[in-house]
Amino acid sequence: MRAGAGAGPRPASPADATPWVTLPRRDWAALRSATPLTLSEADLVQLRGINERVSLDEVADVYLPLSRLLNLYVAATQDLHRATDTFLGSLAAKVPFVIGIAGSVAVGKSTTSRILQALLSRWPDHPEVALVTTDGFLWPNAELERRGLMDRKGFPESYDVASLVRFVARVKSGEPEVAAPVYSHLTYDIVDDEKVLVRQPDVLIVEGLNVLQTGTSADERRVFVSDFFDFSIYVDAEEEDIARWYIERFRTLRSTAFRDPRSYFRRYADLTDEEADATARDIWDRINGVNLRENVLPTRSRADLVLQKALDHGVHTVHLRKL
């Protein structure tokens, strides 16, 4: 296996113990059992990200077994909450099951999040599934510029972490309605006076680059957003593959979204293929690749499940943490 981001959790060998069960795609797909495929090709078209080639076969092989596993986890967690309420003699509170999804820029974690949201919402025990991305908790561009962080966008220090933690804590505590900021990938900034409202969902998916991150030993008293997760997923691939997907996506955006006069990246719309590839590679090497290696990848070992992708964007191996 090549060295880099896609190495995945180290598989078991006869000589050592491992906290992971490692399953090739075929064995993982068999765990779907009788879970029905509830998405159509038309649904999938709406859920796919730019330049991603997720097929219904991929949904059936990878995401249906995962939705079945998560359904079992949600049911078990709900039972545990009921047991605690019974012990305390209190009325059962509706506490959402919170899923964190992490991974690099361009690895496909947003598509993974949308597919899981669609599948989980079709299970009868938890029909209300909310999805929030941590992009909304980036500092506004004006604040990033004031702090000299525009070239560090996506790095941990570019987020209003305190607000993100408060948001998830309020949802997890069962508040009737909690608002989250909205981020526009077109204007590359927070949208003023626009919020997404989360109203006591059965399941909350929190998707973002750094959602599994914790601090150093000096931060041991801090609360992190991952402290509220009931289950966490890391979407993984080799770094050189992710970089290639990023460059392909940049080229596609150059001829689509970047041509919108409102786009923050309008200046890239008229680049030639060679200029676009060179620009995307430079952004990757200076920003996204550095962030992956320094901040995102080190959190992979904290996930409960790792989806490991191949160059074709398909998941070929699943690593599941043992309880």
CATH number at residue 223: 3.40.50.300
Bridge-based pairing of strands 97-103 and 315-321 is: unpaired
Q: Is 82 helix (H, G, I), strand (E, B) or coil?
A: helix
The total number of structural domains in the chain stands at 1
> Does 187 reside within a domain?
no
Residue 164 is assigned to a structural domain of this protein: no
In a domain, 162, yes or no: no
What is the separation of C-alpha 53 from the centre of its chain, rounded to a whole number of angstroms?
A: 18
> Which pLDDT band holds residue 215 (cuts at 50, 70, 90)?
low
Cβ 316 vs Cβ 310: under 8 Å = yes
Whole-angstrom distance, CA of residue 9 vs CA of residue 322: 12
Query: Looking at the whole model, is its pTM more than 0.85?
Result: yes
308 lies in which domain range?
5-136+202-321
Looking only at Cα atoms, what is the longest distance across the chain?
68
- Asked if the structure places residue 233 within a domain, the reply is yes
76 within some domain = yes
Write down the pLDDT at residue 124: 85
**pLDDT, tens digit, 9 for 90 and up, residues 93-144:** 778 999 999 999 999 999 999 999 999 999 888 889 999 999 999 999 999 9
180 domain-assigned: no
| Residue tagged 């074709």 (tokens) | 312
CA distances from 268 to 141, 142, 250 (A): 19, 21, 9
Q: Are 317 and 22 in contact (CB under 8 A)?
A: yes
> What is the rounded average pLDDT for all residues in the chain?
91
Contact between residue 101 and residue 113 where contact means Cβ atoms under 8 Å apart: yes
Whether 314 maps to a domain, the answer reads yes
Looking up tokens 């009921």 gives 82
| Phi and psi at residue 53, to the nearest 5° | -120, 45
Q: Cα separation of 215 and 224, whole Å? A: 8
Q: Is residue 155 part of a domain?
A: no
Tell me what the mean pLDDT of segment 29-52 comes to. Answer: 88
In this structure, are residues 317 and 308 in contact, taking their beta carbons and an 8 Å threshold? yes
